[in-house]
Amino acid sequence: MQLSHDELLEVERELCKRSLAQFARRAWHVLEPAAELKWGWALDAICLHLEAVTDGRITRLLMNVPPGSMKSLLTGVIWPAWEWGPRGMPEMRFVGTAHEEQLAIRDSRKCRDLIKSEWFQGLWPTELMRDLDGKKEFGNSKKGVRQARAFSSMTGVRGDRVILDDPISADNANSEAELEAARIAFTETLPTRVNNEKSAIVVVMQRLSEKDTSGVILKMGLPYVHLCIPMRFEPERRCTTSIGWTDPRTEEGELMFPERFGEQQVTELETTLGSYGTAGQLQQRPAPRGGGILKEQWYRYWTTLPALEFRTIHIDTAQKTGQENDYSVLQCWGRSIVGQAVLIDQLRGKWEAPELLTQTRAFWFKHREAHRSQLRALMIEDKVSGTGLIQTLRRESLPVIPVQRNKDKISRAHDIAPFVEAGNVLLPQDAPWLSEFLAESSSFPGGAHDDQLDPMFDALVTVQKAPATQQASVSVIPTRNPMAGRPGRR
């Protein structure tokens, strides 16, 4: 028996009412008409837990999933539309928030577009208010509202559903100040943004730090149902939640979403992110950030200088010259023709301003003609004693580039760690100062000094920003520790 058009519509309404996942599949053509939908069990898991919020079985939900898991689309776009339409709850008020207001507005706009679409209106006619129909905020004739706010600025809004999507960015996840600001916003502001005791808070994010919002929830023992889906299955961390859901995987290392992220793509992600990024963003178990950021075994070594594209000199100047203060450090770095960072030479000492100027001049002229590759510039932090050095060298017509450091040192270390871990930093095996350099790097940030690391961080940023020109092989020593057996290792 063939169903009529009206009967087919009724079947579709019923399927969508029963299942958020079914609604999401059918809404896909409205949201992403040019893209193929790839669906997996992890998406079903997210939908099941959001359904439990709708049914009142969960009022506090924390979902930790890797990037690319459709978490924002499902939680901030499709779920609100599902409640307003198929579930017959148009009075629900949603507040969507993220670390950047534009991200929250993006999801609000998509939700509005979905609800206004011909497909949605044909099945669930919903009258939107003409005087409340913006990208940042829109409402319907049943008093339902969908609002978008930055996580740091939620004053004046309340909701039956407060959705917190990625409260901190990956770029700021190593900043103690940013983590503390997120903690304060989550513990002191967000709980006051719900309408009543039946209102729900949904936090959906990738893990970035032990001190991120998920870490705060877990450490404080807050009553959140925790859905945690790592990219690769770890049997000892199998997730089971209060609604009866259990991670269905059985094999160690089994992928979360092979339909979208296959083995080759995940392996590439792991290489790009490095061990810290992989542990947090992919596996949802951020490693402690207290020390050992740069592992000694990650460095490689050269005995014959590789072919170089260019060289730069990077200088970190100490503020004072007392016994307890850091040193001033001058380093000459090169970028190899395969994009590696090669440390060529280093000079380190405690010098007053006149002597620092003398040492800098000598270091520049020493390396200016020492190699056939171009020596491009002197790069000096534009701060305290470095500012005076920059001004003097510019008057002498040397190619000086002032450096502004806009992140704390620990954040900068984490930024470059994947590049080091991938074996892209080459050190001179026979340098007399190598032992101290490795000791300082391995003990950071808990060591007595870190002056040799600042110019290295600047150099690695410079090397990574330069475009690759060609590919070739170079002779390096990849794994042997050249300091093994040497006296004086700490």
pLDDT digits (tens, 9 = 90+) for 367-394: 998 878 999 999 998 887 789 999 999 9
Within 10 angstroms of residue 389's Cβ, the number of other Cβ atoms is 22
The single-letter DSSP state of residue 224 is -
- Report how far residue 479's alpha carbon sits from residue 482's, in angstroms, rounded to the nearest whole number: 9
pLDDT band, residue 487 (cuts 50/70/90): very low
**Range list of H helices, 339-489:** 353-368, 385-395, 409-421, 434-443, 453-465
Nearest Cα to Cα of residue 393 among 362, 433, 367: 362
Q: What is the pLDDT of residues 119-143, one digit of tens each?
A: 999 999 999 998 887 778 999 999 9
Q: What is the pLDDT of residues 54-113, one digit of tens each?
A: 999 999 999 999 998 999 999 999 999 999 999 999 999 999 999 999 999 999 999 999
Q: For the purposes of burial, counting CB atoms within 10 Å of the CB of 70, is it exposed (0-12), middle (13-18) or buried (19 or more)?
A: buried
pLDDT at 321: 52
- Report how far residue 310's alpha carbon sits from residue 466's, in angstroms, rounded to the nearest whole number: 10
- Report how far residue 469's alpha carbon sits from residue 25's, in angstroms, rounded to the nearest whole number: 44
CA angle 233, 235, 238 (to 5 degrees): 80
Name the CATH topology of 296-465. Nucleotidyltransferase; domain 5 (3.30.420)
Give me the residue label for tokens 């929830």: 217
φ and ψ at residue 122, rounded to 5 degrees: -70, -30
Four-CA torsion 220, 221, 226, 228, nearest 10 degrees: 60
| Sheet of strand 137-140: strand arrangement | 128-133, 137-140, 145-150, 93-98, 161-165, 200-205, 60-64, 225-228
Within 10 angstroms of residue 196's Cβ, the number of other Cβ atoms is 7
CATH, domain 5-282, list 3.40.50.300, 3.40.50.10800, 3.40.50.261, 3.10.180.10: 3.40.50.300
Sequence ranges of the domains in the chain: 5-282, 296-465
Helices 5-18, 20-31: inter-axial angle, 10-degree rounding: 120
Judge contact between 146 and 139, C-beta under 8 A.
Answer: yes
Q: How far apart are the first and last CA of the chain?
A: 83
Report the run of H or E that residue 14 belongs to, with start and end: helix 5-18
CA angle 475, 334, 377 (to 5 degrees): 165
- Report how far residue 41's alpha carbon sits from residue 52's, in angstroms, rounded to the nearest whole number: 17
Q: What is the pLDDT of residues 87-101, one digit of tens each?
A: 999 999 999 999 999
Judge contact between 145 and 184, C-beta under 8 A.
Answer: no
What the block records as the tokens of 225 is 């149902």
pLDDT at 287: 67
Nearest Cα to Cα of residue 312 among 222, 224, 403, 419: 403
Q: What is the pLDDT of residues 255-310, one digit of tens each?
A: 999 989 999 999 999 988 888 788 889 999 886 544 578 988 999 999 999 999 99
Dihedral (CA of 127, 132, 136, 139) sign: negative
pLDDT at 482: 47
378: left (phi over 0), alpha (psi -120 to 50) or beta: beta
pLDDT at 325: 60
- Listed in sequence order, the residues at least 6 apart from 40 whose beta carbon sits closer than 8 Å to its beta carbon are 256, 257, 258, 259, 260
pLDDT band, residue 320 (cuts 50/70/90): low
Q: What is the pLDDT of residues 22-35, one digit of tens each?
A: 999 999 999 999 99
Nearest Cα to Cα of residue 152 among 128, 181, 121: 181
- Listed in sequence order, the residues at least 6 apart from 111 whose beta carbon sits closer than 8 Å to its beta carbon are 76, 77, 78, 80, 81, 146
Nearest Cα to Cα of residue 53 among 222, 242, 279: 242
Q: What is the pLDDT of residues 212-269, one digit of tens each?
A: 999 999 989 999 999 999 999 999 889 999 999 999 999 999 999 998 999 999 999 9
